Chain A
Amino acid sequence: MIELSELQKDALGELLNIGMGRASASLSEMVGEEVELSVPRVETLSRKEAITRINSLVGHEITAIKESFSGAFWGDALLLFPENHSLELVRALINDDTLPIEMLSEMEQEALTEVGNIILNACLGSLANIFNENLEFALPQYSHGSCDDIFKNNTSSVTSPTSPEGVLLLQMNFSLEKTKVNGYLTLLMDVASMQALSKQLNKYFGSSL
């Protein structure tokens, strides 16, 4: 599998943080409350490693919002939350904690999908903007289950399930006034796509990488 260099990872982190800035601005405006988003860390992992890693970071039961993308580079972008964090996040955002049950209602699932959509759009959009490339996105999808299931069922149409895949794992901190939520942004890409991304990074930052 292809590795991104430390500098490339840092650069990617920077670019994604620009997107996060946009996302937090629009979320803040939507919910009328300061929302902060940041990407403190970028890692490249194999799919298998990623599953183990996410299992240990996020826990077994996770909530995911997925957007597939294609274009200059391609793959699936997934926003992952530990189950209880997703609940907390949504209820903080919609300012409603009257529902004591420990699952998202369908309305809440929609809302969380929207939040994921805003973040994913902002991140991927900022990459496309900066690389001056067109990326095509599918509508976001909400799913919930074990880490294994999420990754298995989300083998994207744009990446072949047999091709070796790399995963870009970005830790993401999500903080509201009273709530602090950790989520993870992952980009599932095959080798060719990863190489394309690497190339884009080199092109944009020049030989400095």
Chain B
Amino acid sequence: MTLIKECSSSTNKPSHIKTMEEKEITDWTSTVIDLSDIGLFLLDKSNVIQCWNQWMVSSSGISRDNAIGKTFSEVFPNVKSARLLNAIDDALCQGMPSVLSQKLNPHKLPLYKTISSKSEHNLMSQMIMIKPIISKSTLCLIQVVDVSAAVARDHMLRFQAAEYHAKELHNRAVLSSIADAVITTDTHGRIEYMNSIAESITGWTIERAINTYLEEVFSVLSKNGKPQIHSVGLCIKNGIIPSTFGDNLILNKEDGTTIAVEESLAAIYNAKNEITGVVLVFRDVTRARKLADEVNWQAEHDSLTKLFNREVFDKKLNYLVDSTKNVNIHHALLYLDLDQFKIVNDTCGHVAGDELLIQVSKILALHIRNNDVLARLGGDEFGIQLFDCPIDVCMRIANKIRQAIKDYRFVWGDKSFSIGVSIGVVEITNDNVNVKNLLSAADAACYAAKDSGRDQVHLYQIDKSEAATRHGEMQWFSQIQKALDNNDFILYAQTIVPLDTSDNQTHLEVLIRMRGDQGQLIPPGAFIPAAERFGLMSAIDRWVIENIFKMIHASKEYIIQNKFNFAINLSGQTLSDNETLDFITKQLDKYEITRGSISFEITETAAISNLSSANSFIKLLKAAGCKFALDDFGSGLSSFAYLKNLPVDFLKIDGAFVKNMVNDPIDYAMVNSINQIGHVMNLKTIAEFVEDDDILQKLKEIGVDYAQGYAICKPYPLTDKNGNMLH
């Protein structure tokens, strides 16, 4: 204030009148004012310049003498700015100060930094402050600040900002063109940027995501559904890159759906090596993971039935066995084998067989508990592991399964099949801890179930049946072998009589007995199953064929005279064995067997199980003059359909129907209908098991062509010790 007062007073009085003291102060103040680095000048109420400092002199080029005492408009005739003039007015009339910025009022006063800039009309950037000074009369102090440096800084700032912006745009362009999703956050984990891939993967737009916490936008769960705590904090705190969370992350999208992602996280450092944020890179691996899952699934499952495969079954069995060690807990292993699968496969084709397996799998799955294991072990074999299951419960489950399969009808086109399952059961206790033994025991029990007539559940018992059976079978094996080597078989025969008298042939069914060690006769029912099991049936069939042909050759005249026809049984094994076929045709030639003197009997089941090979087998031998009978017809299947495919001559009605046909009207009807069907198809019918005259009478009524049984003739030895036919 002192300065201003002095200044103002100095303007009122001529300088020579001042006192010494005043003069000194005036000198000081004018020195200070002149030394000032800003422009200072003073206007009085009439706009007359009262003070004009050195800075103003050098910047405007107007000397103090040319300025002081003149009005503002005289000094600056070209300054017409209303804003400046009004501001001066406001200060003088209303005592109000003003600031005039360079931005809003560029270059108000004609001031120049240097003489050269003046010649170039390069005006000084200036900020003007106008301040009223209220003392005796109101004055107006005008301060002018050179803001060129600030303007330069402003330009620099703008230039750098634009550069930065351009760089940022460049980076963004790079980030948005890469295939991975990128999100960056600040040190608090708040999102600063995300690229368009990140937007589309998360479902968030960048506008919404900015400043939200990363967890909200990138909310991930582990594969088992647990929320995954993000280590952004850790990353920021320690600067370490956390080990990636593996490839099993599930991302919750904005819309509530989920996708599989793979991610990695890294800290962002500035030039001072301080962490300024975190960058998260991730990608949608749904497809890749789905593929991997599929591959894994396929490695563990049977592609047809979608059940576990053998490898997984074995692995789980190992685990199950391990779990029983030292614990008193009982599990069970079931081995299942379908009984009639082959028939379906052969009569209707693989597509039907596959469908049957699928449907059976579903039935099986219905009968086990959640933590049990069901697998397809191969072909028509299945395995089940029953977890923590006492043996009585286990047998109940096995029987329910057996019943369910028995009750089930497989329908294919116009055909309907009933099937069965043989189930072997083994208890898993801490005594029998060898997985291999377990599997073979279950397998053996399943065979035992098949042996005892199929559609059975057989519990494996280590001490009794199995060991004994195994032992017994091994004995049979060597005994049959020995009998084949030593000709210890005897041919038997049973007469088949024509009920229709027009047939003058003598029909005999050729039967077989085995001679035991002590010379006793062993019936076929005792050794045939073992022979079937050990693959010896073809050998037995050959033995029979060779010996009967030899016999026929030896008694040729007698046989031709009596018009004998020998019906020889062929096993299923033989039917599917090309070598035996060769063998038979060669033997036919060798022994000069008369056409029409040989029939072959094949069982319905054997024929259908090997339908295609049976078919060619039959055709070839028929061409060689042999006839064919379908044995046990009606026992296996209720369908006649496949009969059309088999070019047989005789239909042998299953003895089980014949036996009871007198008392059981259903059996009677069965025999009747089989007979009728046979006749419609131009086949001769034969009834077995004709045990009394009543049956014979009924058969005559129905019109069956041939009969065989105890009521007609019991089986008798066909040859003597040397193989010659007994007359």
Contacts and interface: CB of A to CB of B under 8 A. Distances in A.
**Same assembly:** yes
B131 A105 contact: no
Interface stretch (A2-10, A136-144, A151-159, A194-202): A136-144
Contacts of A124: 96
A111 interface: yes
Nearest to A140: B99
A99 B82 contact: no
Contact of B99 (A26, A93, A136, A139): A139
Interface string B141-169: 00000010011011001100110110000
Most buried by B among A26, A29, A107, A117: A107
A140 B95 CA distance: 13
A106 interface: yes
22 contacts: A26-B83, A30-B83, A30-B104, A31-B104, A67-B97, A98-B161, A99-B161, A105-B153, A107-B101, A107-B147, A107-B151, A110-B127, A111-B104, A113-B101, A114-B104, A117-B99, A121-B90, A136-B132, A136-B134, A137-B96, A137-B132, A138-B97
Interface residues of B, number: 32
Contacts of A98: 158, 161-162
A110 B95 contact: no
Contacts of A94: 103-104
Interface string B589-619: 0000000000000000000000000000000
B683 interface: no
Contact of A101 (B97, B99, B132, B157): B157
A140 B96 CA distance: 10
Interface string B119-130: 000000001010
A106 B153 contact: yes
A67 B103 CA distance: 21
Given A94-B103, A100-B165, A110 B94 contact: no
Interface stretch (A127-135, A166-174, A183-191): A127-135
Nearest to B150: A106
A108 interface: yes
Contact of A125 (B96, B127, B157): B96
Contacts of A113: 99, 101
Q: Which of B101, B127, B150, B165 counts the most chain A CB atoms within 10 A?
A: B101
Interface string A78-104: 000000000000100110001111000
B154 A114 contact: no
Interface residues of A, number: 35
A117 B99 CA distance: 7
A137 B130 CA distance: 11
A115 interface: yes
Nearest to A126: B94
Given A121-B98, A125-B94, A111 B103 contact: yes
A110 B98 contact: no
Contacts of A31: 104
Interface of A: 26, 29-31, 67, 90, 93-94, 98-101, 105-108, 110-111, 113-115, 117-118, 121, 124-125, 128-129, 134-140
A145 B682 CA distance: 113
Interface in B92-113: 94-105
A129 B103 contact: no
Given A110-B99, A129-B94, 4 more contacts: A93-B104, A110-B147, A117-B98, A137-B132
B86 interface: yes
Nearest to A124: B96
Contact of A128 (B94, B99, B100): B94
A108 B98 contact: no
Contacts of B147: 107, 110
Given A29-B82, A107-B147, A137 B97 contact: yes
A152 B218 CA distance: 42
A69 B165 CA distance: 43
B85 to A, nearest CB: 12
B129 A139 contact: yes
Contacts of B101: 107, 110-111, 113-114
Contacts of A118: 98
6 shortest interchain CB distances as A-B pairs:
A111-B103, A110-B101, A114-B101, A111-B101, A107-B154, A121-B96
Contacts of B134: 134, 136
Nearest to A103: B157
Nearest to A116: B99
Interface in B678-705: none
Contacts of A101: 157, 161
Interface in B6-64: none
Contact of B105 (A30, A121, A125): A30
B211 to A, nearest CB: 13
Contacts of B131: 139
Contacts of A67: 97
Contact of A107 (B98, B103, B132, B164): B103
